[in-house]
Structure 1
Amino acid sequence: MSSENLKEIRGGIGETLTVGLGLIPLGLAFGLLMVQTGFAWWWTPIFSFVIYAGSMEFLAIGMVTAGIGPFSAAVAGFMVNFRHIFYGLTFPRHRIKSGAGRAYSTYALTDESYAIVSARPPGDISGTRVLTVQILCQALWVIPGIIGALVGQVLPDDLKGMDFALTALFVVLAWEAFKNNKDYSLPLFAVVLALVSGFVAPEQMLVIALTTYFLILLLRVRFPNLDKKLEIRTSHE
């Protein structure tokens, strides 16, 4: 390995640790939740390698235990991770020389790796650094998940609170997103759609609510004048 590649690897590690360390508590919580839900500990790395989509992994636990069909699961997964389509348009995957490396980079594209790589000026990153960032991000998610699952095996079965981890995660993410864009119509739409979908089709509530919400967002982007009428903003931003 050349000195240039070693330099890029060290640089990628340094850039990743600042953001990537935040993955550790989430990974631990995911592993704990897996075993507390009734899965064997070794299902944790399987979920993390096969799905590897952060919040979607938490969501998958509930869908599997609820017996959600493959079509509904696929729709939910598409809605939750739809943003990755846009990530791929600007992610510097072309900087990676090998076909296997580019394939892994496509699979391992996450919010964290995209944020780290995109912080650098366009064209000012090597394929080695891109892969280093993505590999380390996945390691910081998978390894804590396994540790959390192993620890979860020795905890009492009646331990309360871990089943709230998914809800807490989405509450935090939603609050952070709202602070950046204080549009009260968005959470209002979400609450109304969840209530209506739960009343009309409780077994398909998640899929119906996500699909409808996604269509509303598309309409708001397509018709900006309608979007201005629907937005209810605070006077202080």
Structure 2
Amino acid sequence: MSAALIYGGSFEFLLIGLATAAAPLASIATTAFMVNVRHVFYALSSPCTAYGTFALSDETYALTAGEEARSWAGRRILWLQFLMHLYWAGSATARALLGSLFPEGVTGLDFALTTLFTVLALDALRELRDDLPTPALALLSAVAARLLFPGQLLLAAFALFTAELPARRCTTGKRARHA
């Protein structure tokens, strides 16, 4: 059910942890804003409907930001968004149903998501061989946040990394490449 109402994968995962920790509503709202603020910029180049703004995702933006997609009608983009949202909610429901089939004593499955992100990070690192300072800054941000703000690790790491990128650009004159 939450996948249909909260169409933001990373925030949906964060919300589970925040809810189980009984985080204050203000903390949940701030976290939701920080995680999804990029969608404000996506919305500037998207069909302006209430659902179109809600259904923006990184994947939809990636598909519609290219040169060829600029000629697409707004209706086509809205259908794309709807189908991606339907896929997200449907696959989340299927995962929940399949997950309920696992017996109670099975352990270690919670590590699968961590493993997935580790593999994705390693693949991205291979792509960034000529741009090693960017992942190094990300790692430095995480370590510094862990040492300086252990209770607010994620927010502090994001803030530090965001502050370091413009400084890096000013010193090197290069933009960070995106994988």
The TM-score range, normalised by the shorter chain, is 0.7 to 0.9
Uncovered stretches (5+) of structure 1, i.e. residues with no partner: 1-44, 95-101, 232-237
Aligned residues of 2:64 and 2:70 also touching (Cα < 8 A): no
CA distance in 1, matches of 2:126, 2:41: 22
* Partner amino acid, structure 2, of 1:128: R
CA distance in 2, matches of 1:110, 1:173: 19
Q: Which has the larger radius of gyration?
A: 1
Aligned counterpart, 2:38? 83
Kindly indicate whether residue 160 of structure 2 is the aligned counterpart of residue 212 of structure 1: yes
Aligned residues of 1:197 and 1:208 also touching (Cα < 8 A): yes
CA deviation vs aligned residue, 1:162-213 (integer Å, no higher than 9, x gap):
3224323433443454444442222222223322322333222122112222
Which of 148, 151, 170 is the equivalent residue of 1:203? 151
Kindly indicate whether residue 69 of structure 2 is the aligned counterpart of residue 114 of structure 1: no
Deviation of 1:132 after TM superposition, in Å, equals: 1.1
Aligned counterpart, 1:171? 118
Uncovered stretches (5+) of structure 2, i.e. residues with no partner: none
Deviation of 1:217 after TM superposition, in Å, equals: 2.5
Aligned residues of 1:79 and 1:214 also touching (Cα < 8 A): no
TM-score by length of 2: 0.78
Aligned counterpart, 1:28? none
Residues 68, 170 of structure 1: alpha-carbon distance in 2 compared, 3 angstrom cutoff: farther
Aligned counterpart, 1:105? 52
Runs of 4+ residues over 4 Å off in structure 1: none
Give the secondary-structure state (helix, strand or coil) at the position aligned to 1:216.
Answer: helix
CA distance in 1, matches of 2:119, 2:33: 21
TM-score by length of 1: 0.62
Aligned residues of 2:6 and 2:12 also touching (Cα < 8 A): yes
CA distance in 2, matches of 1:123, 1:175: 32
CA distance in 2, matches of 1:78, 1:180: 30
Aligned length: 176
Aligned counterpart, 1:64? 19
Percent of residue pairs identical: 37
CA distance in 2, matches of 1:227, 1:85: 28
